[in-house]
């Protein structure tokens, strides 16, 4: 039986049964922007739940301003929820984040979802002049300030790591449209990030790099660290996957070969949990196959994880635009109905 808290949280997220979102990368050119906008329009027309964007810096196809992109998407949509996968709180001023998110929430008439992250790449912290060892403390302090600002209370930065003058004074909060604030989730790989998410009773957003076994292990750890049993019942369980519903064996093999090569190129100096995830067999963290194969795999995800929000990455470089759209169409029209 789902507890009232679980029902309320799923309702706030707009989740009924198994919801479907798409993840798009940051547009680094006008052509890529048009492609991203095409996916958003496609998702809106087919009644998908949400579009998700990361915050990334100093990388190819990076997205330094996901909130700016989502504001543009808000102007082209009416129902689609607008989400970040990992807004990096440690590198931003919390009151600026609070104001920008509140503005976006009003512009979109209450469609914002925030996935929050800490970041892990060394160039990110060195460029913004932040000690990497302080990222978790800055995350907590920033989120506390943001939540206070959203409550309408006056906020003082004095004594915080975000004060820029001896007397930072008090500032008025910026209130979003959604009350008490937009839904929040935490992108986490390691145990410390999972503890942060559980301590605040925020959903853990599973990465597309994590294997099914690792997600299950992390969810077990996360659930054990929740404050009460009622928080564990009926929770929002979002999972991001690279997914392709193939129409024949040839396209299936081609996509798997490309993803294998993509995975090989990712190897390098990475945090331990990410490196271990990438070392696992590819088919343990991507879902590629026929309609029946993908249906069976996702049914297993639902049974094992109680997954209720699937966020799909549609852009696979070895496929044409028509193949990508056909794959998602098969997912929407054939796979999801079979899952109930």
Alpha carbons within 13 angstroms on the beta-carbon side of residue 128 total 21
Q: What is the pTM of this model?
A: 0.92
State mean pLDDT over 179-208: 92
List of residues 6+ apart from 293 with CB closer than 8 A: none
- Please state, in angstroms and rounded to a whole number, the distance separating the CA atoms of residues 13 and 112: 9
Average pLDDT in the 88-97 region? 91
Q: What average pLDDT does this structure show over 16-21?
A: 95
Residue 186 CB coordination number (10 Å): 25
Pairing of strands 155-156, 184-187: unpaired
Decide which of 228 and 150 is more confident: 150
pLDDT of 181 strictly over 60:
yes
Q: Tens digit of pLDDT for each residue in 264-285? A: 776 556 666 677 777 888 989 9
Q: Cα–Cα distance between 260 and 270 in angstroms, integer?
A: 18
Q: How far apart are CA 11 and CA 51, in angstroms?
A: 18
Say if residue 39's pLDDT is above 80.
yes
Per-residue pLDDT tens digits for 41-62: 999 999 999 999 998 887 766 7
Compute CA distances 142 → 119, 157, 170, whole Å: 14, 10, 15
Please report the pLDDT score of residue 61 as a whole number: 66
Domain of 68? 4-339
Q: How far apart are CA 331 and CA 318, in angstroms?
A: 19
Q: Parallel, antiparallel, or unpaired: how do β-strands 170-171 and 155-156 relate?
A: antiparallel
b/e code 200-217 from CB counts within 10 Å (16+ = b): eebbbbbbbbbbbebbee
What average pLDDT is seen over the chain?
Answer: 88
Q: Kindly indicate the confidence band of residue 1, based on its pLDDT and cuts at 50, 70 and 90.
A: very low
Predicted confidence (pLDDT) per residue in 307-333, tens digit? 999 999 988 988 999 999 999 999 999
The continuous run of DSSP H or E covering 96 comes out as: helix 94-107
Structure tokens at 257: 């070969």
* CATH (domain of 151): 3.20.20.30
CB 150 within 8 A of CB 98: yes
pLDDT grade for 2, boundaries at 50, 70 and 90: very low
- Number of structural domains (the chain) is 1
Kindly state the percentage of the chain with pLDDT values over 70.
91
Residue 81 near residue 51, CB atoms below 8 Å: yes
Spatial CA neighbour of 281 closest among 210, 176, 216? 210
Distance CA 84, CA 63 (A): 11
Are 46 and 332 spatial neighbours (Cβ–Cβ below 8 Å)? yes
């Amino acid at each position: 039986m789902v507890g009232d808290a679980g029902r309320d949280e799923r309702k706030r997220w707009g989740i009924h049964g198994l919801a479907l979102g798409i993840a798009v990368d940051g547009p680094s050119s006008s052509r890529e922007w048009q492609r991203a906008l095409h996916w958003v329009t496609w998702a809106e027309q087919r009644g998908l739940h949400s579009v998700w964007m990361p915050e990334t810096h100093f990388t190819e196809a990076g997205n330094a301003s996901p909130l700016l992109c989502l504001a543009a998407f808000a102007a082209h949509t009416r129902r689609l929820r607008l989400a970040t996968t990992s807004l990096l709180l440690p590198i931003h001023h919390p009151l600026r984040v609070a104001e920008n998110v509140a503005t976006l929430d009003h512009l979109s008439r209450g469609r914002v979802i925030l996935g929050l992250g800490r970041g892990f790449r060394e160039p990110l912290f060195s460029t913004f002049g932040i000690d990497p060892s302080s990222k978790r403390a800055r995350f907590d302090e920033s989120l506390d300030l943001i939540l206070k600002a959203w409550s309408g209370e006056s906020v003082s930065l004095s004594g915080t790591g975000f004060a820029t003058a001896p007397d930072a004074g008090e500032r008025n909060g910026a209130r979003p449209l959604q009350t008490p604030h937009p839904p929040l989730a935490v992108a986490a790989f390691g145990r410390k990030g999972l503890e942060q998410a559980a301590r605040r009773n925020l959903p853990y957003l599973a990465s597309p790099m994590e294997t099914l076994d690792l997600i299950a292990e992390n969810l077990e750890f996360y659930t054990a660290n929740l404050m009460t049993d009622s928080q564990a019942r009926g929770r929002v369980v979002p999972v991001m996957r690279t997914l392709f519903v193939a129409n024949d064996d040839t396209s299936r093999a081609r996509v798997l070969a490309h993803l294998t090569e993509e995975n090989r190129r990712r190897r390098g100096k990475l945090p331990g949990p990410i490196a271990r995830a990438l070392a696992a067999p590819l088919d343990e963290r991507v879902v590629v196959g026929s309609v029946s194969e993908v249906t069976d795999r996702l049914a297993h995800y639902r049974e094992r994880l109680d997954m209720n929000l699937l966020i799909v990455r549609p852009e696979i470089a070895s496929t044409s635009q028509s193949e990508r759209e056909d794959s998602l169409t098969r997912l929407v029209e054939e796979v999801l109905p079979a899952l109930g």
